[in-house]
A and B are shown apart, each in its own frame.
Chain A
Amino acid sequence: MNKMKNNKNISGAEAVIKSLLKENADLVFGYPGGAIMPVYDEFFKFQDKIHHVLTRHEQGAVHAAQGYARSSGRVGVAIATSGPGATNLVTGIADAQIDSTPIVCITGQVPAHLLGSDAFQETDIIGISMPVTKWSYQITKASEVPGVIAKAFYIAKSGRPGPVLIDITKNAQFEMFDFNYKKCIGIRSYSPIPKIDNNKILDAAKLINTAKKPLIVWGQGVILGNAEKEFKNFVEKSGIPAAWTILGASALPTSHELNVGMVGMHGNYGPNILTNQCDLLIAIGMRFDDRVTGDTNSYAKQAKIIHLDIDPAEIDKNIKVDIPVIGDCKESLAMLSKNIKTKSYKNWLKTFDDLMKKEFNKVIKNDLSPKKKGLTMGESIIAINKFTKGKAIIVSDVGQHQMVACRYANFIESRSNITSGGLGTMGFALPAAIGAKMGAPKREVVAVIGDGGYQMTIQELGTIFQLQLPVKIVILNNDFLGMVRQWQQMFFNKRYASTEMVNPDFVSIAKAYFLDSEKVENRSDLEPAVKRMIESKKPYVLEISVEKEDNVFPMIPSGASVSDIRLE
């Protein structure tokens, strides 16, 4: 009765908080401003129930919400004011759209009667964000708040997840109404989980049972579908070697005997070469991104292709497939496993091992046990593996260090690799690490960031300091925008246009934020420093000075075939 009373005649702003709580969203990341102030006033009143994290920039808030969603599997929430607050969210929204991350963004908006008048801090965020949101809605009446927020959470997390934006005019935040919340259980124009066609399962099983040289390539769909167990069963029963896309990493442990490494531009040699030799390619929860396929006209032409995906629009989008299995892979993998024979492919697996040996001799050996004086990114990652025992969540930014981190990180648990895959957003890692740690507080979170990306969102050190959040930050500093420099070296005749960076003293910056920090330049200091960082119970910034002009190999040059992958 009392509860009912509390919900009578409340403001739209209070309804926002109450709706978030109904969705168990008790943690949000944001930044206040004029058009969202009524909601912030309610954050103050409800501070014992909902934790609002003040980031130092709205982009930090949205990336933190992404990191939170990725580590916890829940919906991340970011909140900002109108105008610049809203536009600062756009990069993160686009990132969440292309990487299928469930987030709900709430923006304030000028009062409804001023819409279209170019009022102070008015911007058409619905229009701006439309191509990069799964769904968006502008609320102009308080009575719309509960229904729209319920719908937003349902849409963000169901089916193929994605970002939703809700824009709330200021008058709707002030307006009083009687609050009544009903969870959204379905939308008539939207079927997020297509029904699996059993005939396709049988067709796929038939191909799998007769294949001689099959290869699995899995993506983030396995993680998003919480299908790690079903996937592992399928891999082990089928005996088929399995390779991952960058966002699929950690769904199956790195050390699993059937895990043959990463595909794509800087993936492993074996799975790339053998994509063009397998007789059956089983793609699971991945979308044949161009960084994975290289030239599509010479991608797995010899193979039959089975594609498991929850999104029908992904079927035949980039690569024509023989058997599409549309639906939730948690179900379809279990159905497939029932229909396949237990098999093993000794000789076929040996070809992966042989190619790995080749990659080891040409690339990995030099990365991990370098003869030269300068430190490498690879040995830095190995040191992190050693002291985290592979249990950490690795949050990486974008560039060379990202490829190296994904190649050499030792993943044991799922949801351990958080990175900006599809959009390649520099500046993602530092704020995403904040969200990742808050989404999985019991896990160690190590952000691995290049000196370029670090400086794009460096102000979030302030958030880390204010929260006293024990995230570990490793800057792999080569004083270059390394990936672009590598391309300039290889394809632009070493014309290093605007890639060399004159950097500040990162240790001093960290110390100015009262964070523990140190810098490593010598090999003998690396492991002790990483050990100190991991053992610290506090936030920690470790700058590792690495070779300036190292390149990441293997590499499929842009537009080349996967089988033209280069080792040097």
Chain B
Amino acid sequence: MEKKIQFTVSIYTENNIGLLNRISTIFLKRHINIESFTTSECEIENVFRFIIVVEMTQSGIEKVVKQIEKQVDVIKAFYHTDEETIFQETALYKVKSNSLFKERQIQKFIKKSNARIITVNPEFFVIEKTGFRNETDELYNDLAPYGLLQFTRSGRIAVTKSKMGISEILNTFKNQKKKKK
């Protein structure tokens, strides 16, 4: 059996309604669980970037990325291993305000983990921590015994060490179109 490893899939797309559905269908159809999914406008205006984390075999990810790239509104799709990307996740922890003052430990955890307090009010305060999964997990484990009112973690955001060259692709198209005209 081919070994499964974690891949970060980056997809550059036009901003089209329904594309999210089209892309998730490609995973759904093959019974692949998406571990995390993030989307936002990227460095180019009106071009969106999806970042999807999946655990798959090498041959599996190759096929899936080709199927994604085949979609008309997808400009380009890539896959990378963890070593090839720089990635982070953000977690938010909501804690009762009185525990912050009663439990001195909590302040220690915040300092130790380089987390930030982003909101304080009489009832609760919110801690934000950006880092790797194991780092946000560690803070979670530290805080959990003191009672977490809410906890949420974002999907992975990532940039790659290598170049993506999306502007080049778009410029090539522009030049071809000029030639045709």
Residues of A within 8 A of B (CB): 126-127, 130-131, 134-136, 138, 155, 185-190, 311-313, 315-317
Residue of B29, B70, B73, B174 touching A311 (CB-CB under 8 A):
B70
What is the CB-to-nearest-CB distance from B177 to chain A, in angstroms, rounded to a whole number?
6
Q: How many A-B residue pairs have CB under 8 A?
A: 53
Q: Is the pair B63, A316 in contact by a Cβ cutoff of 8 Å?
A: yes
Q: Is the pair B75, A188 in contact by a Cβ cutoff of 8 Å?
A: yes
Q: Is the pair A185, B72 in contact by a Cβ cutoff of 8 Å?
A: no
| Given A131-B29, A316-B62, CB of A187 within 8 Å of CB of B21 | no
Known: A138-B18, A189-B75. 19 other contacts (CB 8 A): A127-B21, A131-B22, A135-B73, A138-B17, A155-B72, A185-B180, A186-B177, A188-B14, A188-B174, A189-B14, A189-B72, A189-B73, A190-B73, A312-B69, A313-B63, A313-B66, A316-B59, A317-B63, A317-B66
Interface flag for B40 (CB, 8 Å): no
Q: Is the pair A186, B180 in contact by a Cβ cutoff of 8 Å?
A: yes
Q: Is the pair A188, B180 in contact by a Cβ cutoff of 8 Å?
A: no
Q: List 20 A-B contacts (CB under 8 A).
A: A127-B18, A127-B21, A130-B22, A131-B25, A138-B18, A185-B177, A186-B176, A186-B177, A188-B14, A188-B75, A188-B169, A189-B13, A189-B73, A189-B74, A190-B73, A312-B69, A313-B63, A313-B69, A316-B59, A316-B63
Q: Is the pair B72, A187 in contact by a Cβ cutoff of 8 Å?
A: yes
Q: Is the pair B63, A134 in contact by a Cβ cutoff of 8 Å?
A: no
Residue of A nearest to B29 (CB): A131
Residues of B within 8 A of A (CB): 13-14, 17-18, 21-22, 25, 29, 59, 62-63, 66-67, 69-70, 72-75, 169-170, 173-174, 176-177, 180
In the complex the two chains form, what is the Cα distance from A138 to B29 in whole Å?
A: 23
In the complex the two chains form, what is the Cα distance from A121 to B49 in whole Å?
A: 35
Per CB-CB distance, the 3 closest pairs between chain A and chain B, nearest first, are: A313-B66, A188-B173, A189-B75
Residue of B nearest to A191 (CB): B173
Which residues from A are CB-within-8-Å of B66? 312-313, 315, 317
Interface of A, secondary structure class, is mixed
Q: Is the pair B177, A130 in contact by a Cβ cutoff of 8 Å?
A: no
Q: Is the pair B74, A126 in contact by a Cβ cutoff of 8 Å?
A: no
Q: Is the pair A313, B173 in contact by a Cβ cutoff of 8 Å?
A: no
Which residues from B are CB-within-8-Å of A313? 63, 66-67, 69-70
Which residues from A are CB-within-8-Å of B180? 185-186
What is the CB-to-nearest-CB distance from A264 to chain B, in angstroms, rounded to a whole number?
22
Q: Is the pair B17, A135 in contact by a Cβ cutoff of 8 Å?
A: no
What is the CB-to-nearest-CB distance from A123 to chain B, in angstroms, rounded to a whole number?
15
In the complex the two chains form, what is the Cα distance from A190 to B70 in whole Å?
A: 8
What is the CB-to-nearest-CB distance from B156 to chain A, in angstroms, rounded to a whole number?
24
